[in-house]
Structure 1
Amino acid sequence: MMAATHDERRAAKPRLTDIDLYAWIAQAEAGDALIYHCGFLVVDADIAISTLPADQRKVLRGVADAAFRAAEQGLVHLVQERLGTDRFAYIAIARPRPKAAAASLSSLLLEAQAA
């Protein structure tokens, strides 16, 4: 087996899509955690400096944007764990469901995506 290069280790291929993230949020219990990216997100998602192919970078940007929208809606906490130099695990932690009966999870996510 061939060893990964520095760039391959730093910029891992996105493992999930924004839809995967939303599906996880919909079924997650408060306190559940999901690593949605390992690498250096700001670099990996940037068009000018990322080493990812364009299609993978676009998927990663979608996941990152979806995670941010979910955090803005109070559905997840976003945290990072340092794995090494310029390498982090980006983690979404499910929060307790909103108490407002009229606010369904799907409507909150659709609202956030439209914004």
Structure 2
Amino acid sequence: MPHSNIINFTRPAAPLSEIELCGWIGQAAPGAALEYHRGFLALDTVAAASRLPNDQREELLRMSRRAMWAAEQGLVHLVQRRLAPDCFAYLAIARPKLRQKRVSLSQLMTEEAA
């Protein structure tokens, strides 16, 4: 049986939005984990392959890009847990906040937009 250090994670009842993901990242304790998508992200975000309505697909694309951005900023680790063929749980795990550099998530997003 495979061993996993990710035992407890939050799974929202409804699909997450980019704003909800940002809110979670801003307040999550180090080590907290959130399932931000369940499915096959590479296909679910592509118009020709996705079964999602266009507005949900576009929000998923925005949210997944924000998750990647948060990982690049050192705010979260992104991991996948295979659940079945072509079905994965995509998890964001909050990293410890850096002490030497106090910057809010909204400030980072504003700098990115500029």
TM-score normalized by the length of structure 2: 0.82
Does residue 58 of structure 1 match 2:58?
A: yes
- The 3-state SS of whatever aligns with 2:100 is coil
Counterpart contact for 1:35–1:92, Cα < 8 Å: yes
Structure 1: distance between partners of 2:77 and 2:107: 19
- Report the CA distance between 1:73 and its aligned residue: 0.5
Whichever structure has more helix as a proportion of its residues is 1
Percent sequence identity is 53
- The 3-state SS of whatever aligns with 2:22 is helix
Alignment of 1:17-28 (within 5 A): 17-28=17-28
Change beyond 3 A, Cα 1:109–1:98: farther
Structure 2: distance between partners of 1:21 and 1:38: 14
Report how many aligned residue pairs link the two structures. 101
TM-score normalized by the length of structure 1: 0.81
Counterpart contact for 1:70–1:109, Cα < 8 Å: no
Q: Which residue is equivalent to 1:43?
A: 43
| Residue type at the aligned position of 2:19 | I
Cα RMSD over matched residues? 1.5
Structure 1: distance between partners of 2:110 and 2:94: 18
